[in-house]
Structure 1
Amino acid sequence: MTITSSTATTTGRTLRWRVVDIVVASVVAVACAVIFIAWIALSTGPGEALKPLLPGLQGVLNGPWLIAGPLAGLIVRKPGAALYAEFVAAALELLVFPYYGAVVLLSGLVQGLGAEIVFAILLYRSFGPVAALLAGAGAGIGECLVDLPLYYAGSTPAFAVVYAVSTVVSGAVVGLVCSPLVRAIAATGVLDRFASGRAARRAV
């Protein structure tokens, strides 16, 4: 997790992980794991209802499983935060309620990587609503890369397109929701040691 001092910028911004970064990213992962587990039960009924309407549309319900990466990335703002939080949240889900089995570890890894790639492309400098939306969409793309070949192998091209589009849109929406969520968390003062907390105070 440690990035060398060469990543520090002339403005004093550093991408080196601190203990508090690990702690907060872990707390985000735990909170999101609770969401994941709850969503397994809550999404079953709506998912079954959506299937007859348009095959593949159930992907619109995937968003809550994509929240950990964008949320941690927006808060911690360090390389690896999105990947770490999404993977740890998936691991905790598997440990507590192994409904989907060990494949959730692969899902968490790829979803987190999807969000992480977006923050990396933005050089870990942009964390506004657009970045949040794109990070969520990136996590959605990651989910599609796992779900379609593992859960929906042999599905029709139409199903794959609908599922992929609805999943990515769902991820984008959840990513966008993370932006005001970070501001709300920052308003409590718990993010005072983070750039995200300071940026939220300046925006008020």
Structure 2
Amino acid sequence: MEDGAIGKKEHMSTKLAPAASRGTSVRASRPLMGWRTVDLLTVAFLGAAFGIAYWGWDIGYQGPTTAISQGFPPLAGLLVGPWFIAGVVGGLVIRRPGAALLCEVIAALVSMLPGTQWGFGTLLAGIFQGVGAEIAFAILGYGFFGLGAAVLAGVLSAPIEIVYEWFAYYADWSFGWKLAYLAITMVSGAVLAGGLGWLLTRALARAGALNALPPGQEVRERHSV
């Protein structure tokens, strides 16, 4: 109880001026690497929830993917974006170094539990996707978490993962097809992970589910203006 009170006091004393007046994002309390219990619990919950969703998408995406890629196989990349959303939302919610990567890896591990067609490759994909999202937030100095940051995280979730897929699954494709698949997947990441991840984070914050975290603080500050 005492530790919780201290953590709350530290968070309140180290927060920046209201985001609404600065036009920027509320950052995590300092130090950035000082993860709180609520941060760890939240990223674990988000990762587990997205892992269950990933498992469902593993099963459901085959039909639509086959349909849209019959004439041009790289179009399959249009439906890859949903697998990037855990890293995007984890970074937007926690706003600390490692949050995007950890959330994506937890999601990958949870989706593996019931069994997937990709086996250990599922975990590798989670690592590659999470690193990409993490790079995006690092580029922005863990200081900006608006729609643009979410889209950038969704876009950068793709390159490392897709280059891995070139060798693991699509070695027989022409280089032109591989580049097309990368570009299409980056667009999918921007929209289906970045855009939808940003909307989901805002919805959770408005519902009061993120009150102890920076997105919840942003909602309170907007309402107080």
Q: Larger Cα Rg: Structure 1 or Structure 2?
A: 2
Is this a same-fold pair by TM over 0.5?
yes
Checking the alignment, whether the CA contact within 8 Å between 2:47 and 2:106 is kept in structure 1 is yes
> Secondary structure of 1:56's match?
helix
The answer to whether 1:90 aligns with 2:108 is yes
The answer to whether 1:186 aligns with 2:178 is no
1:13 corresponds in structure 2 to: 29
1:198 corresponds in structure 2 to: 217
Cα distance in 1 between the residues matched to 2:178 and 2:170 = 8
Judging changes above 3 Å, is the alpha-carbon distance between structure 1 residues 129 and 122 closer, same or farther for their aligned structure 2 residues?
same
Checking the alignment, whether the CA contact within 8 Å between 2:55 and 2:116 is kept in structure 1 is no
> How much is the aligned-residue C-alpha RMSD, in angstroms?
1.8
Cα distance in 1 between the residues matched to 2:202 and 2:44 = 19
Give the Å deviation of 1:147: 1.3
Of residues 35, 39, 43, the one that matches 2:61 is: 43
Query: Unaligned 5+ residue runs, structure 2?
Result: 1-13, 17-27
Of residues 112, 121, 126, the one that matches 2:144 is: 126
- Map 1:3-152 onto structure 2 (within 5 A): 11=16, 13-14=29-30, 15=32, 16-152=34-170
Give the Å deviation of 1:10: 8.8
Which structure has more relative contact order (CA 8 Å, sep 6+)? It is 2
Checking the alignment, whether the CA contact within 8 Å between 1:77 and 1:196 is kept in structure 2 is no
Judging changes above 3 Å, is the alpha-carbon distance between structure 1 residues 181 and 10 closer, same or farther for their aligned structure 2 residues?
closer
Cα distance in 2 between the residues matched to 1:59 and 1:162 = 9
Checking the alignment, whether the CA contact within 8 Å between 1:83 and 1:116 is kept in structure 2 is yes
Give the Å deviation of 1:153: 1.0
Cα distance in 1 between the residues matched to 2:47 and 2:29 = 24
Give the Å deviation of 1:60: 0.7
TM-score (norm 1): 0.91
Give the Å deviation of 1:112: 0.1
Query: Unaligned 5+ residue runs, structure 1?
Result: 1-8
